[in-house]
Amino acid sequence: MVDVAVIGAGVAGLATAIQLKRRGRESFVVLERGDDVGGTWRDNTYPGVACDVPAPLYAYSFRPQPAWTHRYARGAQVQEYLRTSTREEGLAPHVRLRTDVLDASWESDDDGGVDAGGRWHVTAATPDGVLRVRARVLVTAVGRFGAPHTPEVAGLDGFSGPVVHTGRWDARLDLRGLRVGVVGTGASAVQVVPALAGVAEQVVVFQRTAPWIVPRGDAEVAPGERSALERDPAAVAALRAGLLAELDAGIAARRRHRPALEALRARAREHLAAQVPDGPLRRALTPAYEVGCKRVLLSDDYYPTLLRSDVALEPSALARVEGSTAVAGSGARHELDALVLATGFTTSTPPIAARLHGRSGLALAQRWAGGMTAYASTAVPGFPNLFLLGGPHAVLGHSSAIDVLEAQVEHVLGALEHLRRHGPGARPLEVGEAAEAAYLREVDALAADTVWDDGGCTSWYRDERSGRLALLWPASAAEFRARNARFDPAAYGAAS
């Protein structure tokens, strides 16, 4: 029996665990299905993988990292930061690796009435057999990038060569001298394509939709600058705050404020024009939707890579596979030896939702059959003492998600403090339907008339079942924190 069970040992799960450890008030366990902590940064090891927000923003505010070697941290460095945080914060005794949660069900102490107590009963598979955990509070921190999306392409299963997803890279895969097809042109693709060029004999990029790209401006951080930051924690905090404010200012363009929108659009178009000569390739790389509707990508070398003689842009999606032949939507046929799927993740139907069962026995997946919803992006009616990190409306389309996740952790800590103050007999915290409905109205109002709402694109921010921007927080990180970091017992039908 523990006070808190956390599912997932990625960025969000470790943030929760660190704060629980520092409080020293609650017993807790972290259940992680992988063989290491890190989540996204453990799983994504493809060539060229790096963070796509400035490195100072990809560290916890309560565990600053002054020693990043580049303006944008490499994936392995982020993973090492998370490993180091786990070790130095003393989390190892609390983390159970290779522990895959099969079911988590709420069981009331009596007839299930609103005044009933209760516990979460968690069942997980481990190498040593079944693990059962009882917890007063359950926190899911499984992230949005845990289930790679494989497109439905006829014949893909019969492709004659290796097929690998960027989210499940095989370190043993040797692509030297091979003809490689890369499917997709999103955030992973613009990193992996330049890394494969010159290694593979040929790279063919299958583009369904052209992305908006702006300069990355990446560079090595000079050793002297790193040393200065290591000696001055206040400077690290100031740098982080300044960068967060700078990125948060980007919300103006997403809200269609002029001249911010025109400036962002012009910056992207100028970047394309500066790197790709006028002609068919530039036209194929020019997006047909409003800038910002999908996440704006950062790259200094993607466009130049497409100009190489050993790299080809196929300006249509992969339609089908016939043995070693990849047939594009345009009808073009490409002979390939390997396929790299940079096709994103299943985000609006997280697998964990089918394994969580609330007060009535209803699975969260059933609750979300019509689309993902949550109050404060964190709690769901019918699921007492359950808090979701990185769930509905907890993605930023313009900045780092860590600030959002930290705000959610603060919300959870507030809930735990409420339960502690009211003692063992405290009612479980279950958010009301009215509170969730009011929150969703607020979010929908924020999303109205933004580039995400009507920008002429289809993105993973939108839940295909409801049509809502169910993944995205359509405002600034500062606004998310102001709205959601504070725990409000009234929304949970509880006295303060």
Alpha carbons 12 and 395: distance in angstroms, whole number: 12
Closest of 470, 436, 72 to residue 247, by C-alpha: 72
**Mean pLDDT over each residue of the chain, to the nearest integer:** 94
Cβ neighbour number for residue 222 with a 10 Å cutoff: 10
* 3-state secondary structure (DSSP) of residue 169: coil
Amino acid at 82: L
Alpha carbons 43 and 148: distance in angstroms, whole number: 10
**Residue 288: how many CA atoms within 13 Å on its side-chain side?**
7
Cβ neighbors of 394 (< 8 A, separation 6 or more) are: 377, 378, 388, 401, 404, 405, 408, 471, 473, 480
* 3-state secondary structure (DSSP) of residue 174: coil
For each of the domains in the chain, give its residue range(s) and CATH number, in order of start. Answer: 2-147+346-492 (3.50.50.60), 156-219+227-239+253-341 (3.50.50.60)
* 3-state secondary structure (DSSP) of residue 84: helix
Chain segment 234-274, per-residue pLDDT in tens? 999 999 999 999 999 999 999 999 999 999 999 999 999 99
Amino acid at 430: E
Share of the chain above pLDDT 90, in %: 88
**Nearest 10 degrees: CA dihedral of 125, 127, 129, 130?**
-20
Angle CA 343–345–348, to nearest 5 = 135
Cβ neighbors of 442 (< 8 A, separation 6 or more) are: 483
Q: What is the pLDDT of residue 224?
A: 93
Cβ neighbour number for residue 225 with a 10 Å cutoff: 12
Per-residue b/e over 234-259, b at no fewer than 16 CB within 10 Å?
eebeebbeebbeebbebbbbbbbeee
Q: In Å, how far from its chain's centre is CA 470?
A: 13
Chain segment 434-466, per-residue pLDDT in tens? 999 999 999 999 999 999 988 999 888 888 888
**Which tokens go with 320?**
């089908």
Q: What is the pLDDT of residue 110?
A: 56
Q: What is the pTM of this model?
A: 0.94
Per-residue b/e over 349-358, b at no fewer than 16 CB within 10 Å?
ebebbebbbb
Chain segment 7-48, per-residue pLDDT in tens? 999 999 999 999 999 999 999 999 999 999 999 999 999 999
